[in-house]
């Protein structure tokens, strides 16, 4: 299994149903789109047809929510076979999922639940990632989660866990900057220390999204524009990673596509500023 | 506590709000656990609302929510896809509505339509292909999206009226039992009510695919001449509606 991870430095959006028509009938100014893998892991009908048409116009990243690499009882071969079938057809830029678990035994929560950062969990997660990468025949990306609890059993930080995980398995990272902000606020850790602690050379994609203040905690809702603090953290992140595929992830209160393209333009500006700074330093 | 034990306790917290399980998770404040439980339940309610929009309108917001909560308590999700979660919701609806077969049938129709939307594609049998069929040995197959549902009420009419925002009919029992056929043509899903004879004929075809066997049933019910004529008429109707895939002799 190849663990080489292509680099792609562009700006994209998540493809959502409200915008299918825009993407099929107009030239949307994005460098790639990301789709939720499970929405297209179907036997037939319109969803797969739409994805094929979008794929003719744009590079596509597959982003899953159900692999459940943190499951103590392993992965579901049926799920991996369906994902491989989709990936083989779509030839995506990246295939990604989350550092989380959703399923145990015959229960599937359909939520991205947190993993304790223990040696046992690291061994299980790495074994699951290796199995998934073997079956899919490619290196995968895994996203740092937003979380609302911290386990007393944890013996390492999340960034130390991600670093060890990517070194052991060769997987790449999908860095969700909003998730870092949300978790740092909820658990009181230093977001800059997080950025310095992750293996920047393994980051291949960045997510940007909005969050909401809950009663006691920040909630990763993806239903608001990206907040200023998250933009600032994004600028710090790309200073470490260099240019990587960056996208806005919006799942609720979906605005007109033009609003999301305006938000994406902010990411481009930050990326361009960073590139100019790098060139100036190199000159 | 190892990872598997933690995950089973987490499951107990999400499904049954077990305070014992929550206390074993070693996470300090319970605020975060409440966020996960809220996310879990809201997502499943959203899923049922998306799967059953017309049942929701038919029952009303409050009654539908109560049924959804009962379903979540009775049926924790098990499949990797949320598309499957609405399965068996008709059974849950039978508890608060034991004497409302219209509600049960409306739910079955709505979920069958959702399944048909993403069912496998199939090569449709065309009239031109019939010229090469040996009718004595022909076996016919229904398209993968097609589902045959039994009907005792006018739930199909109710669903159509709800879908098109037309004036809603009163729910009523049919004069005699019938069938509702759900299927997809290209990317659009349809439903069609059929009488008891056509319902039986389709079930026979689904069971063994033999055109000769289909003719036998119709001849037994209608007599030789009328039975054969009916088989031909049904066949042409089914082909025009794209209910059949290419026949294999």
* A77 CB burial (10 A radius; 0-12, 13-18, 19+): exposed
Q: Which residue of B has its CA nearest to A49?
A: B187
Give the separation between CA B137 and CA B212, rounded to whole angstroms.
7
Candidates B6, B77, B85; nearest CB to A116? B6
Residues 93-152 of A with CB under 8 A from B: 101, 103-111, 113, 115-116, 118, 120-121, 124, 147-152
> Full-prediction pTM beyond 0.90?
yes
Contact B161, B191 (CB under 8 A): no
The reported pLDDT for the residue numbered A3 is 59
Q: Each residue of B57-102: pLDDT tens digit?
A: 999 999 999 999 999 999 999 999 999 999 999 999 999 999 999 9
Q: Does residue A115 surpass a pLDDT of 60?
A: yes
Taking any CB pair shorter than 8 Å as contact, residues of chain B touching chain A are 1-4, 6-8, 10-11, 14-15, 25-29, 31-33, 35-36, 39-40, 43-44, 47, 76-83, 85, 116-121, 144-145, 184, 187
B10 to chain A: which residues are within 8 Å by CB? Answer: 104, 109, 113
Position A1 in a domain: no
Position A177 in a domain: yes
The residues that bridge with B192 in the sheet, in sequence order, are: B181
Stretch B5-20: mean pLDDT? 96
Note whether B28 contacts A76, CB cutoff 8 Å. Answer: no
Note whether A111 contacts B76, CB cutoff 8 Å. Answer: no
| SS3 per residue for A10-26 | CEEEECCHHHHHHHHHC
Stretch B151-162: mean pLDDT? 98
CA B233 to chain A, closest CA, distance in angstroms equals 29
Interface test with B, best of A38, A89, A98, A110 (most B CBs within 10 A): A110
Position A5 in a domain: no
Give the separation between CA A168 and CA A114, rounded to whole angstroms.
20
B88 Cβ contact partners less than 8 Å away, ≥ 6 residues apart? B71, B75
A79 to chain B: which residues are within 8 Å by CB? Answer: 80
- Please give the full DSSP string across A49-88, using - where no structure is assigned: HHHHHHHHHS-EEEE-S---TT-TT---HHHHHHHHHHHH
Position A29 in a domain: yes
Say yes or no: A73 contacts chain B, CB-CB below 8 A: yes
Confidence band of B193 (pLDDT split at 50, 70, 90): very high
Note whether A43 contacts B15, CB cutoff 8 Å. Answer: no
Note whether A70 contacts B3, CB cutoff 8 Å. Answer: yes
Nearest partner of A157 among A191, A125, A108, judged by Cα: A191
Position A3 in a domain: no
Contact A51, A35 (CB under 8 A): yes
What total number of domains does chain A contain? 1
- Please give the full DSSP string across A77-119, using - where no structure is assigned: HHHHHHHHHHHHHH--S-EEEESSEEEETTEEEEEEE-----H
Say yes or no: A81 contacts chain B, CB-CB below 8 A: no
Q: Each residue of A63-112: pLDDT tens digit?
A: 999 999 999 999 999 999 999 999 999 999 999 999 999 999 999 999 99
3-class secondary structure, B180: strand
Say yes or no: A72 contacts chain B, CB-CB below 8 A: yes
Give the separation between CA A268 and CA A260, rounded to whole angstroms.
12
Nearest partner of B35 among A184, A144, A253, A183, judged by Cα: A183
The reported pLDDT for the residue numbered A4 is 76
- Interface contacts A/B by beta carbons within 8 Å: 123
Note whether B36 contacts A148, CB cutoff 8 Å. Answer: yes
The reported pLDDT for the residue numbered A1 is 56
CATH code where residue A201 lies: 3.20.20.150
Nearest partner of A135 among A75, A91, A94, A89, judged by Cα: A75
Q: Which residue of A has its CA nearest to B116?
A: A45
Position A145 in a domain: yes
Q: Which residue of A has its CA nearest to B185?
A: A45
Check: complex ipTM more than 0.90: yes
Residues 174-193 of A with CB under 8 A from B: 186
DSSP state of A243: S
Q: Each residue of A225-263: pLDDT tens digit?
A: 999 999 999 999 999 999 999 999 999 999 999 999 999
Contact A73, B4 (CB under 8 A): yes
Nearest partner of B12 among B66, B56, B76, B58, judged by Cα: B76
3-class secondary structure, B87: coil
Candidates B2, B26, B187; nearest CB to A45? B187
Confidence band of A277 (pLDDT split at 50, 70, 90): confident
Q: Which residue of B has its CA nearest to A150?
A: B27
3-class secondary structure, B179: strand
CA A151 to chain B, closest CA, distance in angstroms equals 5
Stretch A178-192: mean pLDDT? 97
User: Domain range holding A206?
Assistant: 11-282
Candidates A104, A110, A118; nearest CB to B82? A110
Give the separation between CA A280 and CA B51, rounded to whole angstroms.
55
Note whether A46 contacts B187, CB cutoff 8 Å. Answer: yes
């Amino acid at each position: 299994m190849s663990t080489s991870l292509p680099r792609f430095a562009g700006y994209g959006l998540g493809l959502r149903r409200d915008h299918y028509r825009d993407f099929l009938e107009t030239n949307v100014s994005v460098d790639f789109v990301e789709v939720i893998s499970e929405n297209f892991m179907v036997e037939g009908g319109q969803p797969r047809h739409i994805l094929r048409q979008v794929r003719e116009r744009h590079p596509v990243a597959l982003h899953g929510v159900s692999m459940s690499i943190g499951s103590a009882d392993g992965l579901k071969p049926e799920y991996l076979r369906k994902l491989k079938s989709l990936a083989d057809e779509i030839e995506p830029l990246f295939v990604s999922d989350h550092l989380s678990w959703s399923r145990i035994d015959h229960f599937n929560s359909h939520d991205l639940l947190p993993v304790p950062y223990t040696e046992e969990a690291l061994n299980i997660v790495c074994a699951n990632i290796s199995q998934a990468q073997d079956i899919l025949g490619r290196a995968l990306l895994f996203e740092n989660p937003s979380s609302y609890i911290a386990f007393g059993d944890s013996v390492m930080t999340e960034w130390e866990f991600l670093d060890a995980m990517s070194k052991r398995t060769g997987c790449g990272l999908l860095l969700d900057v909003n998730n870092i902000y949300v978790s740092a606020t909820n658990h009181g850790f230093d977001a800059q220390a997080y950025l310095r602690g992750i293996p920047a050379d393994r980051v291949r994609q960045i997510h940007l999204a909005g969050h909401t203040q809950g009663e006691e905690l920040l909630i990763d809702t993806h239903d608001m524009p990206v907040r200023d603090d998250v933009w600032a953290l994004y600028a710090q992140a790309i200073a470490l990673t260099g240019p990587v595929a960056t996208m806005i992830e919006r799942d609720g209160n979906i605005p007109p596509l033009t609003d999301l393209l305006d938000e994406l333009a902010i990411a481009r500006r930050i990326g361009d500023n960073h590139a100019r700074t790098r060139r100036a330093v190199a000159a | 506590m190892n990872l598997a034990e933690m995950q089973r306790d987490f499951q107990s917290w999400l499904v049954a709000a077990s305070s014992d399980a929550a206390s074993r998770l070693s996470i300090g404040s319970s605020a975060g656990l409440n966020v996960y439980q809220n996310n879990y339940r809201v997502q499943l309610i959203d899923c049922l609302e998306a799967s059953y929009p017309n049942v929701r309108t038919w029952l009303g917001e409050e009654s539908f929510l109560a049924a959804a909560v009962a379903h979540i308590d009775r049926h924790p999700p098990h499949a990797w896809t949320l598309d499957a979660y609405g399965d068996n919701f008709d059974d849950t609806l039978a508890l608060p509505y034991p004497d409302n077969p219209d509600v049960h049938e409306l739910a079955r129709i709505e979920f069958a339509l959702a399944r048909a939307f993403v069912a496998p594609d199939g090569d449709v049998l065309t009239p031109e292909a019939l010229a090469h069929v040996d009718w004595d040995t022909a076996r016919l197959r229904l398209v993968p999206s097609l589902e045959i549902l039994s009907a005792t009420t006018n739930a199909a009419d109710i669903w159509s009226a709800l879908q098109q925002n037309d004036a809603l009919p009163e729910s009523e029992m049919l004069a005699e039992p019938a069938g509702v056929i759900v299927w997809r043509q290209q990317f659009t899903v349809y439903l069609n009510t059929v009488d008891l004879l056509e319902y039986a004929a389709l079930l026979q075809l689904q069971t063994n695919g033999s055109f000769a066997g289909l003719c036998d049933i119709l001849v037994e019910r209608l007599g030789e001449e009328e039975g054969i004529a009916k088989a031909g008429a049904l066949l042409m109707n089914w082909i025009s509606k794209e209910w059949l895939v290419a026949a294999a002799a």
